[in-house]
A and B are shown apart, each in its own frame.
Chain A
Amino acid sequence: MEKHPVPVQLEKVTKIFRDPKSRSDVYAVRDAELQIESGELVTLLGPSGCGKTTMLRMVGGFELPTHGRIRIGGEDVTYLPPNARATATVFQSYGLFPHLDVFENVAYGLHVRKVPKAETETRVMEALGLVGLSELARRAPGRLSGGQQQRVALARSLVVRPQVLLLDEPLSNLDALLREQMRVEIRRIQKSLGITAIYVTHDRVEAMSLSDRVVVMKAGLVRQVGRPSAIYERPDSKFVAGFVGKVAFFPVEVLGEEEDDTVTCSLAGRRIVAGSMAPGVGDKAFLMARPESLRLGDPGTGACDGTVSTNVYLGSSVECFVATDYGEILVQIDDPSESRVRPEGTRVSISFDETRVRLLPEGDE
């Protein structure tokens, strides 16, 4: 690939749609600031309607931002039409041309660029080889399976050697097994070609497993940007914590910060030390704990007591639901054995792995 990967910048990008029914403005994306480095794969993650697809479509040129600028490789492309941008999109519904066969589909972008016939041929076959579809070049897209159609769409985008690859929930129409395979595949191809990529999904596992960085969005706002592990372990809000994984919250009073950056707080009078603290935490806060950072003990030994309500056996682990004053708390028991799993109905106490629990500001679902 002769082209060097380029960075993508969004500067105060806002998109307002007008709701024709209520005649009011709806902010699809609000003041989004985002810097995507060259060759990076960034995921836009959020619930449906959070503006992630709109953001991707603005980078692709399918929507115009109401305010703000978009730069690709430092150049302002805000008002350029899609055909004048060095982006290529893999659509959720693939958008394959039903009247063209697989080869012609992939060759389309080269045809409109007037690439010579011989070169077209080699590049198309190369792209089809990359996604493992060389055998099916003369098939009509309607006669391919979902996964194959998805690969054609990917090959069609890659063959034009885009500087930025945009993927709009590309795996949402595939079954679970295929989705896992394609996830790995997409990451491998993106890294081997060194393309900058933006990937939209509402599936947190997908986002965690394939991206360099994750952008969590809600209601048009970018809530947090960071590496997958940072987003998972050190979220800044209850929303992000809850969206990227299973989590339990305990209302606590903050007592004071220690020198080693840990924070002491009290949960209904019991002293607890939390490993870290998100910005904006006041006197009252929420203690966030992932199921794997919780332990079960005999009543009275931990931070809070409760009764085991349900055990869900998952093979490598058991999910144990404990009814407490703070609601149903999920505790994950790894390497389950008879001795570690408590029968349903027993009184237990929950204790925290102090290095892995974190304080989050109040409110803000």
Chain B
Amino acid sequence: MSTLGAPSLFTKKKILAFLTACAVFLAIDLWMFSALRDSYEKTVLQDKKELIVALARSAPAGGDAAAADAWLAEARKAYPAVRLLHVQGIPGADEVKVSSLDPELKSLWAAMQGEASFKLGVESASYLEVFVSPEPVRLGAQKSLLMFAPVPNKEGDTAVGIVVAAVDESALTSFFYLTYSLSVIAFLLFALGFGIATFSRDPLTGYAILVLFAIVLTFVAYPLFEALRLTFVQQGRFSLAVWKEILTNKQYLGALAGSVKLGVLTATLSTLLGFLFAFFVARTSMRGKKLVTALATLPVISPPFSLTLSIILLFGNNGLVTKRILGLDHFSIYGLGGLGLVQTISMFPIAFLTLAGVLEAIDSTLEDASLDLNASRWSTFARVTLPLAAPGILSSWLLVFTNSLADFANPLLLSGSFRVLSVESYIEVTGMNRLGNGAALSILLLLPTLTAFFVQRAWVAKKSFVVVTGKPSGRLSDLASRPTRILLLTGVVLTSVFIVSLYGTIVAGCFVKNWGIDYTFTMVNIVEALQRGKAAMLSTMTLAGIATPIAGFIAMIGAVLVVRKRFPGKRVLEALMMTPFAVPGTLIGISYILAFNQPPLLLVGTGAILVVCYVIRELPVGLEGGVATLRQIDPSIEEAASDLGADQATVFRTVILPLIRPAFISSMSYTFVRSMTAVSAIIFLISARWYHITIQIYNFSENIRFGLASVLATALIIIVLAVFGLMRVLVKKSEHLEKTVTVQ
């Protein structure tokens, strides 16, 4: 209890810590500032240099003064900001004719004969090199950099003249002042925040808030801002050109229409199928519910490409069903139909899980009451059950719709000539190198997602009348009549069989020599795939393994801050942490390349950017889980710990973490699995050194090496199942905990 003696919050230790932190931050700040300035100067100079060189190439090589003057006049018309001087012949070697429309420049030229930079400039030009004066010179009212560019002869092997250009330096200095003031502001903000945190009652919480803010600002807000900026700024000026092109070009609009069409199709089919399954599980007394539930949730956790792959194997151009069994020649699975099928199979589980929750929560006594009042089963279903489930049905439809829009992996393999936004933006970026268009297309993708989100908030939340009585509802009255039950059962069984056969196909694909042509058994694929995929597998597992605990801890700390602490800017922090949930992977990928491809944050090409991407993308789900668990824990448990003498760190370690262990473990395993199976964002970020297993599967499939792809997909499925199995075991061990958490 030695701390009792210090009522003052300004202790020597704290002041020292504060000053040290400020010094460290200042050093980093200055380094970042100088790096930024350097890289900017370099790019600006490079641009100018290229311009001048191009100009010099267009200058008349020989001819009279009139030709030179005509050229100078034309150049001034095109580039009024650049002051030019044309020199016919190389000084010292030829007879020199100087002409310029700029008397100041002309007199400068005369005055600087014999100076060191003049000699160097002329010499460089004679060797066909560009020279930039290291020091700016005063030219009338402005400070300018002088550039000497050679005018080549027709063959381009010797310089026959020089173009001297004076480039205004003020653009550079204004940028210098901008970055300078920004870094000063950054330092002041840091000092303020860190100071408040250090000298407050609860420094640890303060630091946690600062760190989380720094993380989300750097890795969520900044990249998205960069992406948005790119679509509005062209060559340093505000411009709507990108958006004009996006919103008028038929190809892009077609992709938008395609995405929406696919989304509506998938969402409708998935909700229907999901309702069928949910009704079977939650509202009937038929047997086999557990098996059906397990089968129906399987596609949620299956890796990308795996279902697409087996659809191609079964129904593709050389598919088992289409070619071998039915003998169809002109059938194509590629396009809207195939995509709708594969998305429905992989996304109806989302609808199923949502709707099963909704249907289970509806008190069956309401249905009993309706039956008791002599309503028929059908009218009870139509007038009681369905209206009660309506908000849930809409919200599941919206959930699937947004998922379908953001889906990248399935369309990538299966879209054929059918265009969707996510793939279109990928092609724009990697195929056409048009980052601006790519970013704009992904932002376009964000709009329906946000709309769906707000509809959900405004309407569904208001209309939700799910009745949770907490009373055991006892036996369910069976709403389904006998024929309905047979119909229901048939639908469920057929879908389940289809799902099982899809997974069977992938496994079978591993052992077949050449699918579609030669169905003989072989182990060759396995050996080759493991050899070629080993590096990607290892790098994926390493990076996912690094990201997992980081994501877990950040999510849990974030949850504690959100649920338990009061501080200014909490809403902003929470919103920023949740943002990646709504942002399509392609947009995250594109924005990361934009934001982290130059110093001081040069991350593109490293493993770090993949780790950051995993952590940020899975943060929302972990956060939600942590928040939900923490809300159920009586805050007086933590208060008791703190009251008994534990500081914030000890409370977190000894009380909070053990209590939210289930959420912590499931958040970590979720992060690991999702990172292993990521496609959309990381396809932009991988490098030769840090490859990704899913991209490897994609490459194998693209090269029609379906056997190899099947092996890797199967391996990935096994890993995913193993991780989830492990999670269940670990969470079960702490289940006794959950029950006693609320001791009210």
Contact = CB atoms under 8 A, between A and B. Distances in A.
Interface of A: 60-62, 64, 75-89, 91-99, 108-109, 112-113, 140-142, 149, 153, 156-157, 160, 173
B201 A149 contact: no
Contact of B636 (A85, A92, A113, A157): A92
A78 B743 CA distance: 31
B640 A75 contact: no
A79 B9 contact: yes
Contacts of B634: 93, 95
A156 B640 contact: yes
Contacts of A99: 658-659, 734, 737
B639 A91 contact: yes
B644 A84 contact: no
- Residue with the highest number of chain B CB atoms closer than 10 Å, among A98, A108, A149, A160: A98
Interface stretch (B95-103, B645-653, B691-699): B645-653
A112 B1 CA distance: 11
Contacts of B644: 83, 88, 108-109, 112, 156-157, 160
A60 B639 CA distance: 10
Nearest to B646: A112
B643 A79 contact: no
Nearest to A57: B639
A93 B201 contact: no
A76 B7 contact: yes
A83 B202 CA distance: 11
B22 interface: no
B740 A140 contact: yes
B531 interface: no
A86 B4 contact: yes
A89 B643 contact: yes
- Residue with the highest number of chain A CB atoms closer than 10 Å, among B9, B640, B642: B640
A76 B6 CA distance: 9
B23 to A, nearest CB: 27
Contacts of B242: none
B481 interface: no
Contact of A87 (B202, B643, B655): B643
Contacts of A141: 740, 743
B215 interface: no
Considering the complex of A and B, which 7 residue pairs feature the smallest CB-CB distances, nearest first? A142-B740, A109-B644, A95-B636, A95-B640, A91-B636, A84-B3, A98-B740
A141 B658 CA distance: 15
A96 B641 CA distance: 9
A87 to B, nearest CB: 7
Interface string B148-180: 000000000000000000000000000000000
- Residue with the highest number of chain B CB atoms closer than 10 Å, among A96, A149, A173: A96
Contacts of A64: 201
Contact of A97 (B9, B647, B655, B734): B655
Nearest to A85: B4
Nearest to A142: B740
A59 to B, nearest CB: 11
A109 B737 contact: no
Contact of B643 (A75, A76, A83, A113): A83
A98 B741 contact: yes
Interface residues of B, number: 34
14 contacts: A78-B7, A81-B647, A82-B643, A88-B643, A89-B639, A93-B634, A94-B636, A98-B741, A99-B734, A112-B646, A112-B650, A141-B743, A156-B640, A157-B644
Contacts of B741: 98
A247 to B, nearest CB: 34
A75 B201 CA distance: 17
Contact of B659 (A98, A140, A157): A98
B739 interface: yes
B72 to A, nearest CB: 67
Contact of B645 (A93, A109, A142): A109
B723 interface: no
A94 B646 contact: no
Contact of B7 (A80, A92, A95, A108): A80
B248 interface: no
Contacts of B737: 98-99
Nearest to B739: A142
A70 B658 CA distance: 34
Given A81-B201, A140-B736, A141-B743, A97 B641 contact: yes
Contact of A96 (B3, B202, B637): B637
- Residue with the highest number of chain B CB atoms closer than 10 Å, among A64, A99, A109, A149: A99
A79 B4 contact: no
Nearest to B639: A62
- Residue with the highest number of chain B CB atoms closer than 10 Å, among A76, A83, A88, A92: A83
- Residue with the highest number of chain A CB atoms closer than 10 Å, among B637, B647, B737, B744: B637
A115 to B, nearest CB: 10
Interface string B314-349: 000000000000000000000000000000000000
A83 B201 contact: no
Contacts of B639: 60, 62, 82, 89, 91, 95
A95 B643 CA distance: 11
Contacts of B740: 98, 140-142
- Residue with the highest number of chain A CB atoms closer than 10 Å, among B1, B201, B741, B743: B743
A140 B644 CA distance: 19
A83 B642 contact: yes
A87 B4 CA distance: 11
Contacts of B659: 98-99
Nearest to A105: B640
B636 A75 contact: no
Given A79-B7, A149-B743, 4 more contacts: A60-B643, A98-B659, A99-B737, A142-B743
Contacts of B201: 64, 79-81
A252 to B, nearest CB: 48
B645 A160 contact: yes
A149 B7 CA distance: 34
Contacts of B640: 89, 91, 95-97, 153, 156
Interface in B1-60: 1, 3-4, 6-7, 9
A289 to B, nearest CB: 41
Contact of A86 (B1, B7, B636, B642): B1
Nearest to A161: B1
Contacts of B637: 95-98
Contacts of A82: 639, 642-643
B712 to A, nearest CB: 41
Interface string B658-679: 1100000000000000000000
A84 B4 contact: yes
A82 B639 CA distance: 8
A113 B3 CA distance: 12
B647 A83 contact: yes
Contacts of A91: 636, 639-640
A4 B95 CA distance: 106
Contacts of A98: 637, 659, 737, 740-741, 743
A61 B3 CA distance: 14
A305 to B, nearest CB: 51
A160 B737 CA distance: 26
B7 A83 contact: no
A56 B561 CA distance: 24
Contacts of A83: 3, 642-647
B81 to A, nearest CB: 53
B197 to A, nearest CB: 14
A124 B62 CA distance: 102
Nearest to A71: B7
Given A83-B647, A93-B634, A93-B636, A108 B736 contact: no
A78 B9 CA distance: 11
Contacts of A142: 736, 739-740, 743
- Residue with the highest number of chain A CB atoms closer than 10 Å, among B9, B636, B644, B744: B644
Contacts of B6: 84
A76 B5 CA distance: 10
A96 B7 contact: no
A61 B647 CA distance: 13
